[in-house]
Chains A and B, each alone.
Chain A
Amino acid sequence: MKAKHFKKLLIHGLLLSGAFIAAMPFLWMITTSLKPPGKVYDAPLFVPLYFYWSNYVKAWSFAPFPRFFLNSAIMAIGITLSQTLLSALAGYALARLKFPGRNTLFFLILGTMMIPFPITLIPSFLIVNSLGWIDTYQGLIVPRAVSAFAIFLFRQFFLSLPRELEEAALIDGANRFTIFFRIILPLSSPVIATSAIFSFLFAWNDFLWPLVVTNSTRMRTIQVGLAMFQGQYGIFWTLLMAASTIVIAPAIIAFLVAQRRFVEGITTTGLRG
């Protein structure tokens, strides 16, 4: 009994110190966002003792943030929905369907992740430009509607699902789409949640591409708003951190919503501790 308590304590001690290291920059962000002018470099660094809320008001009026938020929300939700669905479909085909050239296609898709964005920026821009999609939501969403990363994630997950599930249905005469939507997807909520949260974060934090395919302030996204605090001539630390806090709030909420799914069914798995 005693040993068990000790073990518990040890685990919590380990987890807590790790969690503190993980959270430090985040705590610094919050602390700085609430500091009055002239105190940016002063202790405390990780515990908010000042509560200078007007930084938030000031930061909010620094740029047309409501519009930027709207644009980012439309873009991020559009990208998340399409990436999750379309990548799951492709991932399923690559994991479970047999067709010639399957592996070649898979490695080709993987390969696209290995080409750094800086060198595909210009050709990608030229395509969007020739489609007439500059300054439009489709220009922001469609080029990112499928993600090689998500396809890879889904493929690996589907590979580890027991085949019996589908085989029984196949023998009953169900077609692949029915199986995918009725059997596979309902079983996949942890991986769907994982893929969705990463798609959302990717889209929400994306900066260079949305900037390149938009020309008017009306179509810009929040990351461009954040860049206004890190000017050519210096960083408005308190305002930047206030704005960053506002901007990552939706990301944290998205994570909190999704994380329930990561551990769905934990109570029934019965993993011994």
Chain B
Amino acid sequence: MRAIKLTVLMLAAVVLASGLGFGEKITFWHYWDGANLQALQSLIKQYEEAHPGITIEAVFVPGAELLTKLQTAIISGKTPTIAIADLIAMPTLVRSGALIPLDEYIEQTDIDMNDFFEGPLAYGSYEGRFYSLPVSASNLGLFWNKNLFKAAGLDPERPPRTWEELVEFGRIIKEKTGKWGYELYTAGGEGTTWQWQVFLWSAGGEFLSEDLSAPAFNSEAGVRALQFWVDLIHTYQISPLAPWGLFGRGEAAMVMDGSWMTQFFPMQVNFELGAAPFPYPADGEPATNMGGEQIFIFKGDPDLQQVAWDFITWFTGTEIQVQWDRLTGFMPIRRSVAQDPAYIAWVKNARPLLLPFVESMQYARPRPPVPEYPRISDIVANYIQEALYGRMTPADALDKAAAEVAQLLR
């Protein structure tokens, strides 16, 4: 009896599968490692079980080299069916002409685009069409060392909420414990720029003009944000010009870092850890920066594209995204995930450190989606350093950076 049932089931599966195009295989390049990789593998298994006959071959490519791999794939015409990439890489990939626009599929499947947070969506659109969908997100927040707070006589459960408090707490810590109050990322490159953007935005500034054609960071708010950094180092002396990593070693009490560190810090540090939304000026507004990945389809076999699209809608849908975010600790890309009771209950119980990041997601802003961004970021970081090392005033440094960026965007 059981055997017959099984046979019938298998037959049904085969018939179903052949209807869907049996034996179709799509390749999927990504750079997710560790827990993220395990999560991806389990979701793919789940998808394959629900869609017999379809195989998703996920291939890991190291993150720093993924774009190079995609580049060689594109110029030799041997692209995978789908891939993910860092937000920042999207403008370059979209302009390569190797991706297919997704608008028809989106219409056909009737996806509610308004459910996605606007920030991540900005990276997928170019000249009025969508070329990618967000698949994961992350943002920046404040971490603090509760042991050092205690040692300094501060309430270990009360993080600073404003810049003013950040300075106040930092000075107390420096005075009482001799450790640094706040660790700044001064080493340059995108690490410096994207942390500084948070200060810029929360002081009311903008990075580029609205049409992305000119720099906007050399504003009053920009000068204020950069002056604040300079003051942290030279006036309040609670931040050092030192290699990154003091917070992890217990040498600094506070730091700005990403939501993903709620996974890494507990593995590395030997003190009690707190996380909070990042402080902003008393007269400013909350803000944070956003990272994450986008998923897209390469030009090629239309049948495979259809299969790929089906997988993407499944993967970016609310139900799977809740699972994905729980397994990986990524931030929600959809409002329906951020408001999902099961998801919120999980964060509160299993990953309380993550809660402030989920709450900050509504303030998360995208970096400008222009192909010149990596270059712009390096220019800005370099002039930030000039100010931090006291070689230029913040206003001078930002004006000089703006002049170079303007030339680049012209």
- Are A228 and B59 within 8 A (Cβ)? no
Partner of B268, one of A38, A63, A134, A233: A38
CA of A71 to CA of B388 in the docked complex: distance in angstroms? 48
Smallest Cβ-Cβ distance to A236: which chain B residue: B34
Q: Residue B65 at the A interface, CB < 8 A?
A: yes
Shortest beta-carbon distance from A154 to chain B in Å: 33
- Are B60 and A228 within 8 A (Cβ)? yes
- Contacts A38-B267, A41-B269 given; does A129 touch B76 at CB 8 Å: yes
Query: In A204-234, which residues have CB < 8 Å from any B CB?
Result: 208, 211-212, 215-217, 224, 227-234
- Are B75 and A122 within 8 A (Cβ)? yes
Partner of B63, one of A38, A63, A215, A232: A232
Task: Report B-chain residues with C-beta under 8 Å of the C-beta of A125.
Answer: 72, 76
- Are B261 and A234 within 8 A (Cβ)? yes
Task: Report B-chain residues with C-beta under 8 Å of the C-beta of A143.
Answer: none
Task: Report B-chain residues with C-beta under 8 Å of the C-beta of A38.
Answer: 266-270
CA of A200 to CA of B356 in the docked complex: distance in angstroms? 50
- Are A41 and B63 within 8 A (Cβ)? no
- Contacts A41-B248, A129-B78, A229-B33 given; does A208 touch B65 at CB 8 Å: yes
Most chain B beta-carbon neighbours within 10 Å: one of A208, A224, A228 = A228
Q: Residue B250 at the A interface, CB < 8 A?
A: yes
CA of A34 to CA of B172 in the docked complex: distance in angstroms? 37
Smallest Cβ-Cβ distance to B73: which chain A residue: A215
Q: Residue A260 at the B interface, CB < 8 A?
A: no
CA of A15 to CA of B33 in the docked complex: distance in angstroms? 42
CA of A211 to CA of B61 in the docked complex: distance in angstroms? 8
Task: Report B-chain residues with C-beta under 8 Å of the C-beta of A224.
Answer: 60, 62
Encoded as 1 (CB less than 8 Å from any B CB) or 0, chain A from 236 to 262 comes to 111000000000000000000000000
Encoded as 1 (CB less than 8 Å from any A CB) or 0, chain B from 190 to 216 comes to 000000000000000000000000000
Q: Residue B249 at the A interface, CB < 8 A?
A: yes
- Are A234 and B263 within 8 A (Cβ)? yes
Shortest beta-carbon distance from A142 to chain B in Å: 18
Q: Residue A121 at the B interface, CB < 8 A?
A: yes
Partner of A126, one of B59, B75, B268, B269: B75
- Are A37 and B268 within 8 A (Cβ)? yes
- Are B263 and A122 within 8 A (Cβ)? no
Task: Report B-chain residues with C-beta under 8 Å of the C-beta of A233.
Answer: 36, 138, 258, 260, 263-264
CA of A129 to CA of B37 in the docked complex: distance in angstroms? 29
- Are A122 and B250 within 8 A (Cβ)? no
Q: Residue A39 at the B interface, CB < 8 A?
A: yes
Q: Residue A172 at the B interface, CB < 8 A?
A: no
Query: In A119-169, which residues have CB < 8 Å from any B CB?
Result: 121-122, 125-126, 129, 134
Partner of A231, one of B33, B59, B245: B33
Q: Residue B86 at the A interface, CB < 8 A?
A: yes
Task: Report A-chain residues with C-beta under 8 Å of the C-beta of B75.
Answer: 122, 126
Task: Report B-chain residues with C-beta under 8 Å of the C-beta of A212.
Answer: 65, 68-69, 72
- Are B268 and A40 within 8 A (Cβ)? yes
Query: In B233-263, which residues have CB < 8 Å from any A CB?
Result: 245, 248-250, 258, 260-261, 263
CA of A259 to CA of B269 in the docked complex: distance in angstroms? 41
Q: Residue B31 at the A interface, CB < 8 A?
A: yes
- Are A234 and B264 within 8 A (Cβ)? yes
- Contacts A39-B270, A126-B76, A232-B33 given; does A217 touch B60 at CB 8 Å: yes
Query: In B64-82, which residues have CB < 8 Å from any A CB?
Result: 64-65, 68-69, 71-73, 75-76, 78, 80
Shortest beta-carbon distance from B97 to chain A in Å: 17
Encoded as 1 (CB less than 8 Å from any A CB) or 0, chain B from 50 to 64 comes to 000000010111111
Shortest beta-carbon distance from B134 to chain A in Å: 16
Task: Report B-chain residues with C-beta under 8 Å of the C-beta of A39.
Answer: 270
CA of A93 to CA of B76 in the docked complex: distance in angstroms? 38
Encoded as 1 (CB less than 8 Å from any B CB) or 0, chain A from 46 to 77 comes to 00000000000000001100000000000000
Task: Report B-chain residues with C-beta under 8 Å of the C-beta of A228.
Answer: 33-34, 37, 60, 62
Partner of B34, one of A129, A134, A217, A231: A231
Task: Report A-chain residues with C-beta under 8 Å of the C-beta of B268.
Answer: 37-38, 40-41, 237
- Are A41 and B249 within 8 A (Cβ)? yes
- Are A232 and B86 within 8 A (Cβ)? yes
Task: Report A-chain residues with C-beta under 8 Å of the C-beta of B73.
Answer: 215
- Are A234 and B260 within 8 A (Cβ)? yes
Task: Report A-chain residues with C-beta under 8 Å of the C-beta of B78.
Answer: 129, 134, 215
Shortest beta-carbon distance from A128 to chain B in Å: 9
CA of A228 to CA of B32 in the docked complex: distance in angstroms? 8
Task: Report A-chain residues with C-beta under 8 Å of the C-beta of B63.
Answer: 231-232
Task: Report B-chain residues with C-beta under 8 Å of the C-beta of A230.
Answer: 62
Shortest beta-carbon distance from B330 to chain A in Å: 9
Smallest Cβ-Cβ distance to A62: which chain B residue: B34
Query: In B138-187, which residues have CB < 8 Å from any A CB?
Result: 138
CA of A223 to CA of B270 in the docked complex: distance in angstroms? 30
- Contacts A122-B75, A129-B76, A232-B33 given; does A41 touch B60 at CB 8 Å: no
Smallest Cβ-Cβ distance to A229: which chain B residue: B33
Task: Report B-chain residues with C-beta under 8 Å of the C-beta of A232.
Answer: 31-33, 63-64, 86
CA of A122 to CA of B37 in the docked complex: distance in angstroms? 29
**Knowing that A38-B269, A39-B270 are A-B contacts, what are 17 other residue pairs whose CB atoms are under 8 Å apart, sorted by A's residue number?**
A37-B266, A38-B270, A40-B248, A40-B267, A121-B72, A122-B72, A129-B72, A134-B78, A208-B68, A215-B73, A227-B62, A231-B34, A232-B32, A232-B33, A232-B63, A233-B264, A238-B267
Q: Which 6 A-B pairs have the closest CB atoms?
A: A232-B63, A227-B62, A233-B260, A234-B264, A231-B33, A41-B249
Cross-chain pairs A/B with CB under 8 angstroms, 16 sampled:
A38-B268, A38-B269, A39-B270, A40-B268, A41-B268, A41-B270, A122-B75, A126-B75, A211-B61, A211-B62, A215-B59, A231-B32, A231-B33, A231-B63, A234-B261, A236-B267
